[in-house]
Amino acid sequence: MSGHLFISVLSVYLLDKSIPPTPFGNETMPRKIDDICASPVESPALITRPAVAPIQMAAVYGCASTADASQILGGDVAGYVYQRDGHPNASQLAEKCRQLHRAERAMVFASGMSAISSVLLAQLAADDHLIVSDRLYGKTTYLLTQETKRFGIRSAVVDTLDLRHVAKAIEAKTKLLVVETISNPTLRVADIAALAEICRERDVQLLVDNTFATPLLCQPHTLGADWTLESMSKMMNGHSDVIMGLLTGRHDLWDRIPAVASAWGLGSAPFDSWLAMRGLATMHLRVDRACLTACEVAKYLAGNSLVASVDYPGLPAHPEHELARRQFDGRFGTMVTFQLADDTEVAAQRFIEACVDIHFCPSLGDIATTLSHPRSTSHRATSPEECRTLGISDGTIRLSIGVEATDSVVTSLDDAFGRFKDSS
């Protein structure tokens, strides 16, 4: 028997064993073609199971009875009815993230902005007050200080590195404090345990955006945070092919989150959830490599005469170096920010053009090293005065370190500075 014929016979045999055909003798009459086309396909009964969780794209699920549907929709029993309310891929991903964060509850969302919006919609009402760190992602600041005005929610922007200012800013109606573990883009480090203690004493909820740290460096719930937010689009997924957010929280605060996510359409899609689950499988490897390389990159930049200053928690000169060392268990993150000595937009553009091997990409967390220019991207709507206060200038460059060989990244930067110097 030839090889091709053997494979064909084997394939037919296996198919025959996996999905037994229905003989016409068991049917009262042959089914109509229209009915065959429209009827759902049953999953084959197999003694094996897939090694990887499959993508389950169903938008709606069949229920055995009205009682079953009511119990599932009411959260009394496990199951799915409508994809907007939940689906298997989202549940699998959320459970893994819950474990990573040592959290009581977790849910994945269509984006990081959707995740933080769910907390605002679930926890705050008209005349409530929230405290906003002055070192947040630009869109987060806009949401918390501008969009919330339309709902009658008041806000105060505070330097959360100064604990006295935080305590002083709390009012009787303050419900929420929002900070970033490592700030974007200047990489200042929040003292989460100290902020949590202040919030606990004044009955204020603490939400921590942990995107720059990931649960590999920091698990804010173990330090007292009530809510943890991750933009899973970044390091947790790590491949720049998903927009997704994660929210973890306390069980006693969680009740309204699923209802809000459903009513406002904030949930995630099955394919995105599946992609993020795939990315999560290598997060520990990617973050470890990127952290090691980031330390070497920071040291290289600190000794470069074309660089005025370097922001990286792993450098002893960083103002929160000791806090970062304790809070992040010896790792300092995958991001490095620096200021060009020629602190102008023209110089920044020249440097970007000189970076042949490191692409200008206004995001972060990819497997490849990228750079961004905060003044023209994430903080383009921030006033010059506010940028100066935050330490962001026209010559600020932010690096997101990837998984390439460490010496390759350093060499690429060194070559870029050579071209940059020659172009002046």
**Residue 159 falls within a domain, yes or no?**
yes
**Domain-ending residue, one of 255, 281, 307:** 281
Do 274 and 288 lie in a common domain?
Answer: no
Do 276 and 312 lie in a common domain?
Answer: no
Residue 270: helix, strand or coil by DSSP?
helix
End-to-end alpha carbon distance in the chain: 73
Query: What's the confidence (pLDDT) of residue 26?
Result: 52
What share of residues in the chain are helix, strand, coil (percent, to 5)?
A: 45, 15, 40
**Residue 16 falls within a domain, yes or no?**
no
Is residue 157 within 8 Å of 226, Cβ to Cβ?
Answer: no
Do 261 and 321 lie in a common domain?
Answer: no
Do 176 and 292 lie in a common domain?
Answer: no
Q: How far is CA 370 from the centre of its chain?
A: 17
Per DSSP bridges, beta strands 205-209 and 174-180 are parallel
**Residue 213 falls within a domain, yes or no?**
yes
Q: Residues with Cβ < 8 Å from 61, sequence gap 6 or more?
A: 79, 80, 81, 82
**Amino acid in the structure at residue 213:** A
Q: How far is CA 307 from the centre of its chain?
A: 30
Report d(CA 115, CA 118) in Å as an integer. 5
Q: Which domain CATH number covers 117?
A: 3.40.640.10
Do 169 and 203 lie in a common domain?
Answer: yes
pLDDT in tens, 340-366: 999 999 999 999 999 999 999 989 999
**Residue 332 falls within a domain, yes or no?**
yes
**Domain-ending residue, one of 281, 303, 323:** 281
Across 153-197, where does the E strand assignment appear? 154-158, 174-180
Domain region containing 204? 66-281
Is residue 292 within 8 Å of 331, Cβ to Cβ?
Answer: no
Do 133 and 183 lie in a common domain?
Answer: yes
Do 220 and 274 lie in a common domain?
Answer: yes
The number of helix segments (H) and strand segments (E) in the chain equals: 16, 12
Hey, what are 235's tokens? 């390091």
Q: How many CB atoms lie within 10 A of CB 36?
A: 9
Cα 117 to Cα 82, 267, 345: the distances in Å are: 22, 11, 34
**How would you classify residue 63: left for phi > 0, otherwise alpha for psi between -120 and 50, otherwise beta?**
beta
**How would you classify residue 113: left for phi > 0, otherwise alpha for psi between -120 and 50, otherwise beta?**
alpha
Do 93 and 230 lie in a common domain?
Answer: yes
Using CA of residue 348, residue 350, residue 355, residue 359, what is the dihedral sign?
Answer: positive
**Cis peptide, bond prior to residue 185, ω within 30 of zero:** yes
Is residue 90 within 8 Å of 110, Cβ to Cβ?
Answer: no
H-only helix segments in 236-282: 257-263, 270-280
**Residue 44 falls within a domain, yes or no?**
no
Report d(CA 298, CA 310) in Å as an integer. 7
Q: How many domains does the chain have?
A: 2
**Domain-ending residue, one of 281, 296, 313:** 281
**Residue 385 falls within a domain, yes or no?**
yes
Is residue 220 within 8 Å of 199, Cβ to Cβ?
Answer: no
Do 246 and 148 lie in a common domain?
Answer: yes
Do 266 and 345 lie in a common domain?
Answer: no
**Residue 22 falls within a domain, yes or no?**
no
Q: How many residues does the chain have?
A: 424
Q: How many CB atoms lie within 10 A of CB 251?
A: 9
Do 274 and 314 lie in a common domain?
Answer: no
Q: Within the chain, which residues score under 70 in pLDDT?
A: 1-29
Q: Which domain CATH number covers 367?
A: 3.90.1150.10
Residue 257: helix, strand or coil by DSSP?
helix
pLDDT in tens, 230-275: 999 999 999 999 999 999 999 999 999 999 999 999 999 999 999 9
Do 192 and 241 lie in a common domain?
Answer: yes
Query: What's the confidence (pLDDT) of residue 21?
Result: 52
Vertex 294, ends 276 and 331: CA angle to 5°? 75
